[in-house]
Structure 1
Amino acid sequence: MAQQRTGVATLKGNPITLNGPELKQGDQAPDFQLNKSLVDTVSLKDYAGKVKLISVVPSIDTGVCDAQTRRFNEEAGKLGDNVVILTVSADLPFAQARWCGAAGVDKVVMLSDYKDNNFGQAYGVLIDELKLDMRAIFVIDANDTIQYVQVLGEMTEHPNYEDALAAVKALA
């Protein structure tokens, strides 16, 4: 059974349980398997040598997740070729592709954790009660060491965009 953490996160003030470890700055980034489509998968190795900003959202079809993904898409073009921004949610790849097309989002890489919540469990953001991933930001350097972590305490709040982007710029 995966490690469960209580008392660290809420949804509209109601407690939720996060499955997986609490990752910290300096930890080695866990590997993952995420879907780019129903059949195509990627892992951490696919982004070797790049600075990675992983923006985790519960569902792309909600207001804060929409705004968070649009914000990082705007910033992606300014960060250079050594940086990749990955947006992870448990939405089906179809829904992610539809949303990106409608929103004109084309600079972030959308990845789905729908199959087995592999990413959510490895990164400690899987919400036990909902089988969605908690809103979080991870900045991982080119050597796959975590340099910045923000797991939101309240699912409906925005992450600290400026701090996350400053962490990326310090590495790029």
Structure 2
Amino acid sequence: MNEERTGVATVGGNPITLIGPELKVGDKAPDFTINKDLTTEASLSDYDGKIKLISVVPSLDTSVCEAQTRRFNEAAAKLGDQVKVLTISVDLPFAQSRFCSVAGIENLDTLTDYKYRSFGKSYGVLIKELQLDMRSIFILDEKNTIRYVEYLKEMTNHPDYDAALEAAQALIK
């Protein structure tokens, strides 16, 4: 059974329910099953040995999500090959692919939680009422320990890009 958390986030000022645990710095990152495209699945182990900056957006077809993805795409090019930047949404793979080609997104992996909502449930970001993943940022070290986490209180707000990027850079040896 999945834990439900109320009173922790809003969408347009309206309260929502998040499904799953609230993860904290120092926690071992839970595994997940997610899709790279319609039929190819991925999991946390696919990124073993890398620092992971996981940028979670509700949908790439919104202005804040687009800005967040563009910002981390630019940063990914500068972070080097020790860091893998992942953008996760519940958009269908076709929409993600179209967005990336139009927006010139090529330095990060877009992954979709559309099929199982496994990431959302495991990381405590699945919005019960909307079946979207709540905007959030997770940074995991090479051994999948959470080193930074930001759960946004309001879905339409931007995350703290600078703090997230500083946390990722601090892990680079």
Query: TM class, shorter-chain normalised?
Result: over 0.9
Kindly report structure 1 stretches of 4+ aligned residues shifted beyond 6 Å.
none
Gaps of 5+ in 2: none
1:143 aligns with 2:154: no
Q: Percent identical across equivalent pairs?
A: 63
1:146 and 1:103 mapped to 2: Cα distance?
29
Which structure 2 residues correspond to residues 111-126 of structure 1 after superposition, within 5 A? 111-126=111-126
Question: Which residue of 2 is the match for residue 166 of structure 1?
Answer: 166
Q: How far did residue 158 of structure 1 move? A: 0.1
2:109 and 2:83 mapped to 1: Cα distance?
11
Match of 1:76, SS state, is helix
Question: Which residue of 1 is the match for residue 60 of structure 2?
Answer: 60
Match of 1:85, SS state, is strand
Please give the TM-score of this superposition, normalised by the length of structure 1. 0.99
Gaps of 5+ in 1: none
Question: Which residue of 1 is the match for residue 110 of structure 2?
Answer: 110
Superposed CA deviations along residues 92-111 of structure 1, whole A, max 9, x for unmatched, are 01000000000011001000
The residue type equivalent to 2:119 in the other structure is: F
Which structure 2 residues correspond to residues 66-85 of structure 1 after superposition, within 5 A? 66-85=66-85
1:60 and 1:30 mapped to 2: Cα distance?
24
Question: Which residue of 2 is the match for residue 91 of structure 1?
Answer: 91
Q: How far did residue 116 of structure 1 move? A: 1.4
Which structure 2 residues correspond to residues 1-20 of structure 1 after superposition, within 5 A? 1-20=1-20
